[in-house]
Amino acid sequence: MRYSLRVVLYVIGGSVALTSCSLFGGKGGKPNAQNPGQNSTATGLAYNDEDQGGFMVNPYEGQPDAPNMVFIEGGRAVMGSFEEDVMSYRDNIERTVSVASFYMDETEIANVHWLEYMHYLAKDSSQEAYQAALPDTTVWVGKLAFNDPYVEHYLRYPGFRYFPVVGITWNQASKYAIWRTRAVNIKLAEDAGEEYAESDGRIPLESGIVVPAYRLPTEAEWEYAAQALIGTQWLEELQTHQRIYPWDGHAVRNPYGKQMGFMLANFKRGRGDYAGIAGRLNDAALITSYIYEYPPNDYGLYNMAGNVSEWVQDIYRPMSFQDFDDLNPIRRDGFLDPASGSNSGYNSDFEKNPESFTSLITDRARVYKGGSWKDVAYWMSPGTRRYLDQDSATATIGFRCAMIRAGSNY
């Protein structure tokens, strides 16, 4: 365990006198998470005294770095759509919220990441688990389109390794996050020279060497990270403007440098126009694209608009903007508007008629955010939102993971 030594010296008659010494490193010599001291400030009992059965306080230097994660500093923001509601959904009216700091994947999860996942499932899990994790490659099939090559090649051909994985359901993405958490923490334990063999496969949080769980971001987290309003601040808490897209301005083309005039995201310009004219393709992507292809936003996140839309945790409710907590909001169950029961005027008949239920109020409908390669620019605005059944998959929806920043109050 590391401690910082606080020494106060006085010069008395040409000699040096030692007046105080502290093994604490906090403000004013007080203990903190990184430097808790040798003894409990509540009982005076010694920490880490194995002979006396003392309480073990493991070394801690902060939350370990997690692969592919970018720190998103939290704060206040306005959620909601800033453009005309062309779909007339009226389901994302502006409201002010605060979002705690968290981490988010720098990029979308790519084909190579999913193939790695399936590799370890094939080794360590049942055949049933492996089969359940297979993406639906038939999402590329079109009755009036020759997309057959993507069915066989998009997931597995090496040239598509760093293209976003698609054909993934919300449930599959959630299970991937659970597996990824365990895989990363086992690796961190090995690097720290520790061995843990608990029955549930978890490593104690008290060890200080593990990361919190990977998971899908909440809708609020995703929208906050996409806006990246940290780049619009001027002086103290003054924001010069909001953003229609994850970058400044009303245009979708790069206004600077050698890339001037090129698109800032992978999207569909209009009917039949997915990439522009050969010789100077405007976004160089008829379908999905390389996960690092376009400039990142001010948080350093790639493709928060375009390429693929992304699953988030929340269930879909049309009135989420009205029924919300203004600190770390999320909708994850039927609280206030249950999917079934006599108290709701919008009950889903999914259980009775799963093939053609008629209500939007169902706990199976999950929100997805951001535009895709197949969407027009309207859907690239962070405030837009759509929904799909959690067991459904398309060629336009992928995902990225998020993670809390543990031990932080902002």
Domain of 101 in residue numbering reads as: 69-404
HSE at residue 97, side-chain half, CA atoms within 13 A, is 25
In a domain, 324, yes or no: yes
Q: Is residue 183, in this structure, part of any structural domain at all?
A: yes
What is the CB-side half-sphere exposure of residue 383 using CA atoms within 13 A? Answer: 24
Q: How many domains does the chain have?
A: 1
In this prediction, residue 22 carries a pLDDT of 40
**Of residues 396, 347, 348, 392, the one with CA closest to residue 376:** 396
Q: Which residues of 143-175 are buried (b: 16+ CB within 10 A; e: fewer)?
A: eeeeeeebeeebbeeeebebbbbbbbbbbbbbb
pLDDT of residue 343: 41
Q: Residue 13, exposed/middle/buried by CB under 10 A (0-12, 13-18, 19+)?
A: exposed
In a domain, 222, yes or no: yes
pLDDT at position 282 is 76
- Residue 124 inside a domain? The answer is yes
Contact 320, 312 (CB under 8 A): no
Residue pointed to by tokens 């995902």: 399
pLDDT the model gives residue 177: 97
Averages of pLDDT over runs of 10 residues in the chain (410 residues) are: 38 41 55 90 89 85 92 89 66 82 97 98 92 96 92 96 98 97 90 68 77 95 93 75 84 79 86 82 87 94 97 86 78 70 46 56 88 93 92 97 89
Does residue 6 sit within a domain?
Answer: no
Q: Please answer whether residues 64 and 209 qualify as being in contact, where contact means their C-beta atoms are separated by less than 8 angstroms.
A: yes
Could you tell me the CATH number of the domain that includes residue 90?
3.90.1580.10
Backbone angles phi, psi at 145, to 5 degrees: -140, 145
| pTM score of the predicted model | 0.84
Residue 39 inside a domain? The answer is: no
Which amino acid makes up residue 398? Answer: G
Q: Is residue 1 part of a domain?
A: no
Is residue 382 a part of any domain in this protein? yes
Q: Are strands 238-239 and 309-315 parallel, antiparallel or unpaired?
A: unpaired
